[in-house]
Amino acid sequence: MTILALLSADLMAQINSLPPASTNLVYVDKEGVMRYTADNSEASFFGVNYTTPFAHAYRAQKAKGVNLEQAIRNDVYHLSRLGLNAFRVHVWDTEISDTAGNLLQNEHLRLFDFLLAELKKRSIKTIVTPIAFWGNGYPDRDEPTPGFSRYYGRGKLTTNDTAIAAQENYLRQFFSHVNPYTKLSYEADKDIIAVELNNEPAHSGPKAGVTAYINRLAAAVRSTGWSKPVFYNIAQGPWYADAVAAANIDGFSFQWYPTGLVGNRILPGNSLPAVDKYRIPFRDTIPAFANRALMVYEFDAADVMNPSMYPAMARSFREAGFQWATQFAYDPMAIADVNTEYQTHYLNLAYTPHKAIALMIAAEAFRHLPRNKSWGVYPTDTAFDGFHVDYEKELSVMASQDKFYYSNNTSLKPADAAALQHIAGAGNSVLVRYSGTGAYFLDRMAPDEWRLEVMPDVIRLRDPFGRPETGKPVTAISWQSKSMSVNLPGLGTDFSVQGINTGNKYSANAVKGTISIQPGVYVIRRKGAPAGIQPSQEFVAPEATAAISTNAGSSSLSDDHTEIVTPATAILFNPATDRMITVTPQYRKGFSTTHFDREPSAEAFRLSIKNMEGDELMGFQQFIGNNIQSLLVVDRKATGDEPDTLAVTASGTGADQLLLRLTLVDNQGQGYAAEVPIGKDRRTYFIPVNTLLPGPALLLPRPFPGFQPLQFSPAISQPKLQLRNIEKLQVSLDNNRQPVKLTDATLDIYQISLH
């Protein structure tokens, strides 16, 4: 056991000997479980990051003339409507501090306090991360902010003594600050349940210095009377994990971006294999890791529109033992039409209704599923304790005793429709058929009476993950009357409908269970039933987008707009045209990719690596599902047969012979691979399709953090490749598979085709 581990064990013994403060909502017990102080039951929280008080979200909404207080109220209502109970944000300290760490009383801090007060009204709990380290620019240029983070820079903030002293000063003032809206300090506010000391630190230097830095920050916070849990990021710099574990803290924070970041387009294909498991390597290597609480400060399936991902991620988080998870980041409604804040993320109830309902389902799953229970390996883990996810149907479903939620059209049924109290959907089900494209909610108010809330229609105009431009919407909003059929026990087919939100005077009776309805809030009641308690009239939705045709846009949630090639070409990869590929490794010194012309009319894609490690690989992935489908149609019409041969034109250096691995990946994540020996001279190699054997597929884009698995094999292996199910082409050079270990290598791919 290391000195750090021994030190950590001693510190944890001290921490666990302290009783929880009776005023705190939660505490961490001696086994590392976060529990409610009132009854010692396990706690779990699921929600989002949200940034209106700071940085781009602040500037963009101000530029539009948005009332920021009302914008916050609107968004917080939607978070509550989705059943979320957790909020986290890395506070842009650079906007609310000076270089000495003095807290500045300004508009950003005031709006943050206002946001905390609004969240408190909705019983949404907060873990505050007071130091972001970042500038406030992204996606714009950083402004000349007054804070210590801009003055010292991220690298010095964890090592420079004066910079650390500024952070200590800032933390003492920050946690002594009294929120003018709640009249409480952050320490006294019961709904602020914990602190994560900073956001994604860039540690360097000796490990003992890292432990000392964390302890200084934790001591500064606790000097204000803070007795709530203290978390610190252990995933950002895994080499320093034992130093983090040695610190005087109560828990560790992690992140998860299983589909990478900033793909610049909708990521096509099945990404559920990428969220099959969340791997934590420290449990087996660092004894001091045990008995600490675990939180996920940020997660998202970036560049993915398919609404099957969030519940699957929630399942994997619970299997790994997490008790807090907050998606990054929920788009403010006022700027969600253009998705300029973080182009790789896109989530808002009004603008991405299918994903929002999926997040609602994920929240229920996270709070319902037991910790540390495995549900198997994909695809056997797509059904788990009343929850269901389906990539091909772009669907998530929750069916419990009293709730029925679905993110798209579903034929699944609730266990007992008569017992339901809450319904939420985006699409059609056996209970509700709706011709609109927005989300809707039904909440039972009395045996024969329901509150109905209907959001406006959404129209996708262009890829939301492409290059963002202010003034160029990616999604439009339409307010129109749409048909809705409601089939609920006890309601009848001629139920009454009455609008109740401000300005909504609609009143009608259903005909054969069907009504025509616009966005708003309604009471629907069995004909002749007495009126119950008046439900909430609250309703928030964006205004309709002017001059947008309802025939515009795409009807597919995950349409990647990839051009289908001319079938006769059968080209699966062409370096001249296929530039939206995914490569591995990323951000690795000595690795590069290049498109170049080696000969006239012979463009190649080159991967080059220096100082290749023994177990390292390099490669790339191309989505080919559209090309395969188009080719199959033509070949079957012409000959009645399927294509049967792959052709790859390639060359490479680094050894006399390289083993190139060519893998076709199907829609269940199953890989079918062949290894092709290639030389330094350009040559075309032919591989019979029936010689490809089942094997693992790469998870690309590379999941982050980097200790997540890079390869995946499904639980159910299909021994025979079915071309109609193939989605992805992967090309790799794996040092583990080479006849001679490589040091420096290049790989040139000129073309890959199917005949």
Tokens of 616: 């390292």
Residue 4 has pLDDT above 70, yes or no: no
What is the distance between the terminal CA atoms of the chain, rounded to a whole angstrom? 59
Q: Predicted confidence band at 718 (pLDDT cuts at 50, 70, 90)?
A: confident
**Look-up of token digits 């109560």:** 250
Other CB atoms within a 10 A radius of the CB of residue 686 amount to 10
Tokens of 214: 């964390």
Q: What digits encode the pLDDT tens for the residues 364-389?
A: 999 999 999 999 999 999 999 999 99
Q: Kindly tell me the sign of the dihedral angle through the C-alpha atoms of 314, 316, 317, 321.
A: positive
Query: CA-CA distance, 559 to 566, in Å (whole number)?
Result: 19
pLDDT at residue 421, as a whole number: 98
Query: CA-CA distance, 139 to 430, in Å (whole number)?
Result: 44
Q: Are strands 251-256 and 230-233 parallel, antiparallel or unpaired?
A: parallel
pLDDT at residue 23, as a whole number: 86
Under 8 Å between Cβ of 455 and 443 = no
Q: How far is CA 130 from CA 175, 209, 221, 322, 411, in A?
A: 9, 21, 10, 22, 46
What are the structural domains of the chain? Answer: 3-15+43-368 (3.20.20.80), 383-525 (no CATH), 567-754 (2.60.120.430)
% of the chain with per-residue pLDDT over 90? 87
pLDDT at residue 596, as a whole number: 81
Q: Predicted confidence band at 532 (pLDDT cuts at 50, 70, 90)?
A: confident
Q: How far is CA 561 from CA 343, 598, 722, in A?
A: 17, 30, 24
Q: What digits encode the pLDDT tens for the residues 453-510?
A: 999 999 999 999 999 988 899 999 999 999 999 999 999 999 999 999 999 999 999 9
Query: CA-CA distance, 616 to 734, in Å (whole number)?
Result: 6
Q: What digits encode the pLDDT tens for the residues 406-434?
A: 999 999 999 999 999 999 999 999 999 99
Q: Predicted confidence band at 636 (pLDDT cuts at 50, 70, 90)?
A: low
Residue 286 has pLDDT above 50, yes or no: yes
Query: CA-CA distance, 448 to 474, in Å (whole number)?
Result: 40
Residue 653 has pLDDT above 90, yes or no: yes
Q: Predicted confidence band at 546 (pLDDT cuts at 50, 70, 90)?
A: low
DSSP 492: -
Q: What digits encode the pLDDT tens for the residues 294-313?
A: 999 999 999 999 999 999 99
Tokens of 574: 């062409």
DSSP output for 626-668: HHHHHHHHHHHHHHSS---EEEEEEEEESSSSEEEEEEEEETT
pLDDT at residue 146, as a whole number: 98
Mean pLDDT of the chain: 93
Name residue 441's beta-bridge partners: 424, 453
Average pLDDT over residues 35-46: 98
pLDDT at residue 533, as a whole number: 84
Least confident window among 321-325, 549-553, 650-654: 549-553
pLDDT at residue 632, as a whole number: 77
pLDDT at residue 640, as a whole number: 57
Name residue 734's beta-bridge partners: 617
Average pLDDT over residues 592-610: 84
**Look-up of token digits 């199907």:** 666
pLDDT at residue 598, as a whole number: 63
**Look-up of token digits 């994909």:** 378
Within 8 A by CB and 6+ apart from 251, the residues are 28, 32, 34, 194, 229, 230, 231, 232, 292, 293, 294, 295
Q: What digits encode the pLDDT tens for the residues 548-599?
A: 554 444 456 766 544 444 445 579 999 999 988 999 999 899 999 998 876 6
Query: CA-CA distance, 438 to 523, in Å (whole number)?
Result: 18
Entry pTM: 0.94
Q: Predicted confidence band at 8 (pLDDT cuts at 50, 70, 90)?
A: very low
Q: Are strands 45-49 and 324-327 parallel, antiparallel or unpaired?
A: parallel
**Omega within 30 of 0 (cis) for the link into 332:** no
Q: How many CA atoms lie within 13 A of 487 on its CB side?
A: 11
